[in-house]
Amino acid sequence: MIGRLSRVAALLGALAVSFGIGWAVGGLQGETNAYHRRFLDDRALLKPILAADPAFSGVEIEELSIGAASLSGEVDSAEDLDRLRAEVIRVFGESRVEEIMDGVSVDEDERPQTPGR
């Protein structure tokens, strides 16, 4: 009788541990999927912006670890950068523009040189 009770207790303990591990793994997988889904949604909004203007051909979409999309690369002029920034603000709003545009800069070779430098 005691042997049977100990087997039942061991089985219930193993079941509880398995449930806990499954719950934790499922939760982590769900979070990972949610982060990646956010990136896919952001990317779908950014692709048409980049495709609409040849000046943005040097800019690429990257996935951040927080699940959002970020732009990286170079544009030829400050005007191009301003145009891209305006489009990102139009689609995502002011609150996300810095996060998204953080990796975009003006190509050093294309910047006008200041006299005396």
Asked if residue 115 belongs to a domain, the reply is no
Q: Is the pLDDT of residue 45 over 80?
A: yes
Asked if residue 86 belongs to a domain, the reply is yes
Asked if residue 117 belongs to a domain, the reply is no
**Rounded Cα distance, 62 and 43, in Å:** 9
Confidence of residue 12 (pLDDT cuts 50, 70, 90): confident
pLDDT for 110? 58
pLDDT for 111? 54
Asked if residue 21 belongs to a domain, the reply is yes
Closest alpha carbon to 82 in 108, 61, 55: 55
pLDDT for 24? 67
Closest alpha carbon to 111 in 79, 85, 88, 87: 79
Total count of domains within the chain: 1
Joined tokens for residue 16: 């509880």
Q: What is the pLDDT of residues 52-105, one digit of tens each?
A: 999 999 999 999 988 889 999 999 999 999 999 999 999 999 999 999 999 999
Calculate the average pLDDT of the chain.
85
Asked if residue 62 belongs to a domain, the reply is yes
Q: Is the pLDDT of residue 113 over 60?
A: no
pLDDT greater at residue 4 or residue 1: 4
Asked if residue 11 belongs to a domain, the reply is yes
Strand 103-106 to strand 69-75: parallel, antiparallel, or no bridges (unpaired)? Answer: parallel
Asked if residue 20 belongs to a domain, the reply is yes
* Range(s) of the domain holding residue 25: 2-110
Asked if residue 116 belongs to a domain, the reply is no
pLDDT greater at residue 110 or residue 2: 2
Closest alpha carbon to 52 in 24, 19, 87: 87
Joined tokens for residue 3: 């042997």
Helix (H, G, I), strand (E, B) or coil at 116: coil
In this structure, are residues 71 and 96 in contact, taking their beta carbons and an 8 Å threshold? no
